Amino acid sequence: MTTQCAQESVYKLLPRPEEKPVKPPRYISTFRPSVKREAEKNKAQWKAMGPAKVAVPSQKNFLLKHSKNPKLPERKKEQDSKKLPALSVPRRTDHPVMGIQNKKNFINTNAVAAITGLPKKPQPICVDRRQGDKYLLETSGLVPKYIKKKDYGVTPKYVIRRKEEMKRAQNEYEARVLEDLKKRAMKQLSDEERINLLQGLKKNWEEVNREFQGLWVQIDTIHKKLHKEKLESQMKQLEHDIEVIEKHKVIYIANE
């Protein structure tokens, strides 16, 4: 294979002067001198003859207000001679008497009240800063109006009513329990018996839990699965009984 390379020359290394493009000559109209001549000829022709003589308007013929507005035709006498219809509204010349007549002079009364009355006090305001907005002091929340109420610090009526209802319900429940005790002759567990019963339940739960923890790792038969479900149900029942006994301090047992 043969490679072709550009031929090197020393003349290409020397800087070449920039060639500026030559602009074409500016366009000049051929009618330019005639246009200039006509403009000079017709310039200010009125100087030789003076200003136009026009009649001076009279000072009396000035423009009046609404003189250019369209005018309505004059009213004929036949329309004036027609009788006007009866009006339900009284005329200006009529003086109807309506209601009770009062001879009090309200103008003098109001004047005396304005002179002898006390001046109106300005409403107190508050400003948040020097050049801030103004607010009414009464509605701004800065005035301690709430603590000055008559019912401030007093237990609301609905709370008292709710407490009375709860107390009444508790009394009814206790009365119903006493009646059931009398009918069924129920026995109340003492604190010692309750503690012993609770300890026994917890001991049984520990035994069942120990047996549950010792189950087989792989439960692959029906017998093993049923045994596991039985232990889980026993633990849930014991947990429920323990929770009930711990929650209620008074426990009744029906005598057989």
Decide if 51 is inside a domain: no
What integer pLDDT is reported at residue 172 of this predicted model?
92
50 in any annotated domain: no
Give this prediction's pTM.
0.30
Task: Compute CA distances 61 → 57, 67, 70, 225, 228, whole Å.
Answer: 7, 12, 19, 126, 126
Q: Spell out the per-residue pLDDT of the chain, length 256, in tens.
A: 555 655 677 777 777 888 888 899 999 999 899 988 888 887 766 666 666 677 888 888 888 898 889 888 887 766 555 666 666 777 788 776 666 777 888 999 999 998 998 888 888 888 888 888 888 888 888 888 888 888 888 888 999 999 999 999 999 988 888 887 776 666 778 888 888 888 999 999 999 998 888 887 788 888 888 988 999 999 999 999 888 888 887 777 766 5
| Listed residue (118, 152, 156, 121) closest to 138, CA to CA | 121
Q: How many domains does the chain have?
A: 1
Structure confidence at residue 88 (pLDDT): 72
Given a contact cutoff of 8 angstroms between Cβ atoms, the answer to whether 209 and 232 are in contact is no
Q: Is 24 within a domain?
A: no
* Beta pairing partners, 252: 188
What single DSSP character describes residue 218? S
Q: Could you give the C-alpha distances from 122 to 33, 119, 125, 136, in angstroms and in order? A: 87, 9, 9, 11
58 domain-assigned: no
Residue 162, pLDDT score? 94
CA-to-CA distance for 172 and 179, rounded, in angstroms?
11
Q: In which domain, by residue range, is 225 found?
A: 186-254
